[in-house]
Amino acid sequence: MAHDAAHAFSSALKTFKTASGKSGKFWSLKELAKAYPGIEKLPVSIRIILESVLRNCDGQKVTAAHIAELAHWAPNAERTDEIPFVVTRVVLQDFTGVPLLADLAAMRSVAAALGKSPKTIEPLVPVDLVVDHSVMVDYYGTPKALDLNMKLEFQRNNERYQFMKWGMQAFDTFRVVPPGFGIVHQVNLEYFARGVYTSPNDKGDVPVYYPDSLVGTDSHTTMINGIGVVGWGVGGIEAEAAMLGQPVYMLTPDVVGFELTGKLREGVTATDLVLYVTAILRGEKVVGKFVEFFGPGAGSIAVPDRATIGNMAPEYGATMGFFPVDEMTVAYFKGTGRTDQEVELFEAYYKAQGLFGMPAPGELNYTKIVRLDLGTVTPSLAGPKRPQDRIDLGHMSTKFSELFSKPNEANGFNQPANKLRMRYPLAHDGVSVEEKEQPPTPAGAPREVVEMVANRSTKAAAHSVASAPKAPPSGVTIGNGDVLIAAITSCTNTSNPSVMLAAGLLAKKAVLAGLTVKPHVKTSLAPGSRIVTDYLVKADLLQYLEKLGFYLAGYGCTTCIGNAGDLSPEINEVISKNDLVGAAVLSGNRNFEARIHPNLKANFLASPPLVVAYAIAGNVMVDLMTQPVGKGKGGKDVYLGDIWPTMAEIDENLRHAMDAKSFRKNYEQIKENPGKLWSSIKGVSGQVYDWPESTYIAEPPFFAGFKMKPHAADAGFKSARVMALFGDSITTDHISPAGSIKESSPAGIWLKANGVKKEDFNSYGSRRGNHDVMMRGTFANVRIKNLMIAPDDKGTQEEGGVTRFQPGNEKMFIYDAAMKYIELGVPTVVFGGEEYGTGSSRDWAAKGTQLLGIKAVIARSFERIHRANLVGMGVLPLQFRGADSWQTLGLTGDERIDVVIGGELKPQMDVKLVVHRPDNSHQEVTVRLRIDTPIEVDYYKHGGILPFVLRQLLAA
* pLDDT tens digits, one per residue of 539-558: 999 999 999 999 999 999 99
Candidates 257, 268, 274; CA nearest to 310 is 274
The pLDDT value recorded for residue 449 is 32
Across residues 604-615, what is the average pLDDT?
98
The pLDDT value recorded for residue 700 is 95
* pLDDT tens digits, one per residue of 254-278: 999 999 999 999 999 999 999 999 9
587, 363 in Cβ contact below 8 A? no
Across residues 53-70, what is the average pLDDT?
93
Spacing of C-alpha 744 from chain mean position:
28
* Position 417 confidence tier, pLDDT thresholds 50, 70, 90: very high
List 805's β-bridge partners, or say none: 810
3-class SS at 660?
Answer: helix
State percent of the chain over pLDDT 90. Answer: 82
The pLDDT value recorded for residue 713 is 64
Residue 456 has pLDDT above 70, yes or no: no
Residue 672 has pLDDT above 50, yes or no: yes
Residue 572 has pLDDT above 80, yes or no: yes
CA 840 – CA 177 distance, rounded (Å): 21
Cis peptide, bond prior to residue 807, ω within 30 of zero: yes
The pLDDT value recorded for residue 201 is 84
The pLDDT value recorded for residue 712 is 66
Averaged pLDDT of the chain: 92
The pLDDT value recorded for residue 202 is 87
* pLDDT tens digits, one per residue of 827-880: 999 999 999 999 877 899 999 999 999 999 999 999 888 999 999 999 999 999
* Position 933 confidence tier, pLDDT thresholds 50, 70, 90: confident
Contacts of 665 (CB under 8 A, 6+ apart): none
For residue 908, CA distances in Å to 88, 131, 251, 903, 927 come to: 30, 38, 12, 13, 10
CA 782 – CA 594 distance, rounded (Å): 7
* pLDDT tens digits, one per residue of 490-538: 888 989 999 999 999 999 999 999 999 999 999 999 999 999 999 999 9
Residue 782 has pLDDT above 70, yes or no: yes
CA 161 – CA 133 distance, rounded (Å): 12
Residue 448 has pLDDT above 60, yes or no: no
What does 834-872 look like in DSSP terms, one character per residue? TTBTBSS--HHHHHHHHHTTEEEEEES-B-HHHHHHHHH
> In this structure, how many other beta carbons lie within 10 angstroms of the beta carbon of residue 798?
15
Residue 434 has pLDDT above 50, yes or no: no
Q: How far apart are the first and last CA of the chain?
A: 18
Is pTM beyond 0.85? Reply is yes
Residue 446 has pLDDT above 70, yes or no: no
Residue 582 has pLDDT above 80, yes or no: yes
CA 915 – CA 722 distance, rounded (Å): 11
The pLDDT value recorded for residue 441 is 31
Candidates 546, 566, 586; CA nearest to 437 is 546
For residue 395, CA distances in Å to 353, 409, 621, 623 come to: 48, 21, 10, 8
